[in-house]
Each structure stands twice: as C-alpha cells, then as structure tokens.
Chain A
Amino acid sequence: MVSTRTSIASVVTLSALALGISLFTGTGFAASLVIWVAINVLLAASFRFVQLIGELNFAIAGFVGLGAYVSGICTAKLGLPFAVALISAALAATLLSLIVGFITLRTKGPYFMLISFAFTEVLRMIYTQIEYIGGNSGMIGIFPPVLLTEYYPTFIVAIVLLLLLALYQLEQSDFGKVLVAIRNNDAIVQTVGINVHLTKVLCLAISSFVAGIGGALLAHANNVISPGDFSFLLAVYTLAYIKVGGESHIAGPILGASILTLLAQVAMGFGPYEHIFYGSAIVIAVLLMPDGLVGIIRKFLKLAPKTQVSSRH
C-alpha cells in the first residue's frame, strides 16, 4: 500500500509541476496542448464520476456544449465578465442535468446510455437551428479576459486541479461510497433508506457542473465553437481516455486523457481516419488492459514491496 503521506506528496508535486509547465508555455502550440490536455482530463473525470453509479453518460457532450454556448453568449454576445460566464455555464449545465436526470435516470445501463446519446445529438441539432448563436457555422470571438490571455493555460490547469480535488474528495466521502454501492446493488441501497433515484440525479448534476465549466474553458480557449464540436464523438473520446487510463481510480482519466490527447496530435495526420485512432485505443485497452494504465501501475506497486523484501535477504 502506498501511504497517505506519499500520495499527498506526489499529488502536490504533480500539481506544482503541471502549474509550473503551464506558466512557461506562452500562447503558442505548447499552450494549446496544455489546455487540451487539462480540459480533456477534466471531462474524463466528469464522465467517470457518473460511472461511479454504473452509468455511461454520453450526455456529457451535451452539457459541455451547453457550458460552451452559455459562456460564449455571456462574454461574446452580452459582454458580461468572464467570471459570470464561467458560473452561468456551470449553473446552466447543472440545472438542465437535474431536469434531464430526473426524467431519464429511472432507466439504467444501455437504456440510459442511449437516451444520453440522443440528448447530446438533440442539443447539437438545436444549436444548428439558432441564428443568434451562429447556427451551423457556430459562434466566433469568444476570448478570455485580456489580463488572463497570457496565463490562460495556467488558469485552466489551476481550475482543473481544483475540480479534480473536489471530485476526488467527494468520491472518498461516505456519499461517494453510496454512489459506488448503487452501482454494486441498488436494491440494497434502497432498503437502507436512501433515495437511489435522487442520489443518481445529484451525481449527474455534480458531473454536469464540472462538464459545464469544462465547456466554458474550452470555448474561451478555442475562441470559436460550432455545434459539431459537441457531438457524441466528444463523449466517445472521453470514454477512450477512461478506458485507456483505467476506471478504478481518478488517476485513470488523468493518465488516459493526457496520453491520448498528446498521441492524438500524431493521429491528426491520418485525416479522415483519425477516429480509428480512438476506436482502436478503446478496443486495445479493453482487450489487453481491463483496468487500464492504473491497473498496470497497481500491479507494479503491489509487487514492489515484495521485491524490496526479497532483496534484503
């Protein structure tokens, strides 16, 4: 077992490293890479949070899109401060997820997955029909505040770290255990007085709050958004990050999203065959490493103490 102190030390070191790197990236391609990695990590962590109750939430793409469009409207159309845009995006995604979750989370498994998939696609089609937000061609001119421009990667990394920490704390809490218990056997959770349906809705709302912020950060990083950015493919990519990284620990989405986002830069060169990259990543991960990279690391860490003991003799 890795001691708590070692875990905290490594988390602090890695966070400081991430923040440090982001400070020196400037505004070029390196900066974009840092931003993409950070946002994808955030989305993967949000997607995984709903997996705690055993559901694959393809609606994440819808909520990211909603966050992006709401924040874009706030800053580019209404001229509101960036902070207001960020909060509005998170609240809009949370509110809609409460309604959608309340209606749809009575289903589970493949049924919920299909409904969440449909939700994402419906939202995307709605964006294409609204002239105010640019219809099919999307919205332009979504910029972060001038003061932040140079440090935008650092700002994003900081927000992502904060949200990851919050999600991790929630997962470790008794509430987090209830979520895992629902995935394990929801009938038992009901018998001990817990309203399973509302707990599931709350889980989706927390995840969507994070997804909304992710969308707002993404919109202000790319400066341009269009409906196509928020199709179900976004959810598939996110699923790929988690499958490669591993589901059993929050480090999984962090690892998976970081590695795949960086490798995807190579895959961009494949042109229309780019999607094969993500598809094969999922297939390879499922076949060869059922608990992703986290599982491999776990195995290594479990073996390590034994090796130490034997080397003393």
Chain B
Amino acid sequence: MTTETILKVDRLSRRFGGLTAVSELSFDVQAGEIVGLIGPNGAGKSTTFNCVSGFYPLSDGRVTFFGEDISKMTTAQVCHKGLVRTFQHDSLLSDMTVYDNILIATFSMIRSKSERERRVHETAAILNLSDHLQEIAGNLPHGLQRMVSIAIAFATRPKLLCLDEPLTGLNQTEVGGALTIFRRIRDEFKISILLVEHNMKAVMEICDRIVVLDHGVFLAMGTPNEIKTNPAVIAAYLGKRA
C-alpha cells in the first residue's frame, strides 16, 4: 500500500511566557488515516491544534501540509490549503440557523450560489441535519450542536479535518452514530481526520494510529493495540505503581 504524508509536524514547540505547553512534538498524518491525539488534561492537545491550524504562532518547529510549510499561514489561508479544525467550546454560530452555519463555511470556497446551496444540503444529509436546517443552532440539543460544528468544517471539503473533542457529552448511541459518520467522511470523501478526544473506547475503535502527549511532550505513537499495552502510556494515564 502506498501512503502519502499529508501533515507533518516537526519538533513543534509552543511557549506561553515561562510555560512550555508543547515541546518538540513530532508526528505525521498519512492520507486516508484517522489519527488520534490523546493525553491527560493539560497535555497540550488543543495547543497543538491551535498551532497546526494557524491560530497560534509556533515558538519553534515547523508544520508542513502536502510538503508546503504552513507554519506562518493564517487560519483562513490554512483552510484554503485544505486543513480545517473544529473547536472544543463555542464551536458554532449559535444565533444563526443550521442552514446559515453551513452556508458560511461554503462562502469563500464556492463562487456559485446554487452550488453553495447544493453543498449545504449534501453536508446536512451526511451529518443527519437535514430536518434541522431552519432551526437556530444554539437551540439544538447538545448532540446535534456537535454535528453542526463538524458540518461547518466538513462543508469546506478539506483534505484534513481536525476535530477537537467532537464526542464530549454525547451518549453512547450518539457516539456510535458520530463514528459511522467519521468513517463515511473518510471513505467517501477521502478526507483524513486528526482527532483530539477523551473517549478512549471511541478513539481505540476508530483510529488507525494514536499519538500520545503528556505535559506537552511526545510520549508514544502507534496502533491502538500498541498504545493500549505501552507501559509509558499506562503510567501517564493511571499513574506509576509506588
């Protein structure tokens, strides 16, 4: 099987004053992969997301996307290269309808108005939002709001979708539904996914590879089975035996 590296994070560091949130982190995402980025709270997962997607400037290191250096690009530029992220909190336009939420995402990507409308309906259908298009996004139940935030990012039809804790607060049925959608996005649209998530069962189930961070430092990378049995990961999550 031939693989292509689409995202390469090379010794990424991000410091806030004296605090090093992420230190010399390196990993990559191959085309067609779903990669999990996990770690205890405060491990630096969201900071990594913010750096990769152009929200924070890097203190050190380099991020390349399809071989092109995107470290100095703005979030909007990174999006046009095909890398889009969602947010953990405030992840949608809560005062606007679901339709408009998705429409905004097509604005800079598609010229034709009718083509934009088509994209909105197609996106809504895949995320099971077709029946809610005219509802105000902020009034929807939590599970559907999560889907709207993914729909916004997915509507741009990126090459890499970075999802920041998309399963938080979902019940088991909803998690199952979301995972099916992630697979469909990957298989039908050839979109790779980078996933930050705390739901270990879901991460182990869906990810091809997992990157583990602890206190901003790279801890391990491997298949779910490798990660499950990695002593360093177990120690980071459960603590060391005294």
State the A residues within 8 Å of B (CB).
174-175, 177-178, 180-181, 184-185, 187-196
Q: Which of B74, B91, B96, B107 is within 8 Å of A192, CB to CB?
A: B107
Q: Which 5 A-B pairs have the closest CB atoms?
A: A193-B79, A193-B108, A192-B105, A190-B75, A184-B93
B43 within 8 Å of A by Cβ? no
B75 — which chain A residues lie within 8 A by C-beta? 190-191
Q: Provide the bound-state CA to CA distance between A190 and B107, in Å.
A: 11
Q: Provide the bound-state CA to CA distance between A175 and B107, in Å.
A: 8
Question: Residue-by-residue, is B137-179 near A (CB-CB < 8 Å gives 1, otherwise 0)?
Answer: 0000000000000001101100000000000000000000000
B74 — which chain A residues lie within 8 A by C-beta? 190, 195
Specify the main secondary structure of chain A where it touches its partner.
helix
Q: Provide the bound-state CA to CA distance between A147 and B114, in Å.
A: 46
B155 — which chain A residues lie within 8 A by C-beta? 192
Q: Which of A181, A188, A193 is within 8 Å of B87, CB to CB?
A: A188
- Evaluate contact between B93 and A191: CB separation under 8 angstroms: no
B105 — which chain A residues lie within 8 A by C-beta? 192
- Evaluate contact between B76 and A181: CB separation under 8 angstroms: no
Q: Which of B91, B95, B104, B116 is within 8 Å of A189, CB to CB?
A: B104
- Evaluate contact between B76 and A196: CB separation under 8 angstroms: yes
Assuming the contacts A177-B100, A177-B103, asked whether A187 and B79 have C-beta atoms less than 8 A apart, the reply is no
- Evaluate contact between B109 and A174: CB separation under 8 angstroms: no
Q: Which of B84, B92, B96, B107 is within 8 Å of A174, CB to CB?
A: B107
- Evaluate contact between B107 and A185: CB separation under 8 angstroms: no
A202 to chain B, nearest CB (A): 13
- Evaluate contact between B85 and A191: CB separation under 8 angstroms: yes
B90 within 8 Å of A by Cβ? yes
B150 to chain A, nearest CB (A): 12
Q: Provide the bound-state CA to CA distance between A181 and B85, in Å.
A: 17
Interface residues of B in 70-116 (CB under 8 A from A): 74-76, 79-80, 84-87, 90-96, 100, 103-105, 107-109, 113, 116
Q: Provide the bound-state CA to CA distance between A138 and B94, in Å.
A: 48
- Evaluate contact between B76 and A190: CB separation under 8 angstroms: yes
B79 — which chain A residues lie within 8 A by C-beta? 190-193
Q: Provide the bound-state CA to CA distance between A190 and B90, in Å.
A: 14
- Evaluate contact between A185 and B76: CB separation under 8 angstroms: no
The residue among B80, B91, B104, B116 with the most chain A CB atoms within 10 A of its own CB is: B104
A174 — which chain B residues lie within 8 A by C-beta? 103, 107, 113, 116
B32 to chain A, nearest CB (A): 23
- Evaluate contact between A178 and B104: CB separation under 8 angstroms: yes
Q: Which of A175, A180, A195 is within 8 Å of B96, CB to CB?
A: A180
Q: Provide the bound-state CA to CA distance between A196 and B86, in Å.
A: 17
B30 to chain A, nearest CB (A): 23
B53 within 8 Å of A by Cβ? yes
B54 to chain A, nearest CB (A): 8
Nearest B residue to A195 via CB reads B76
A102 to chain B, nearest CB (A): 15
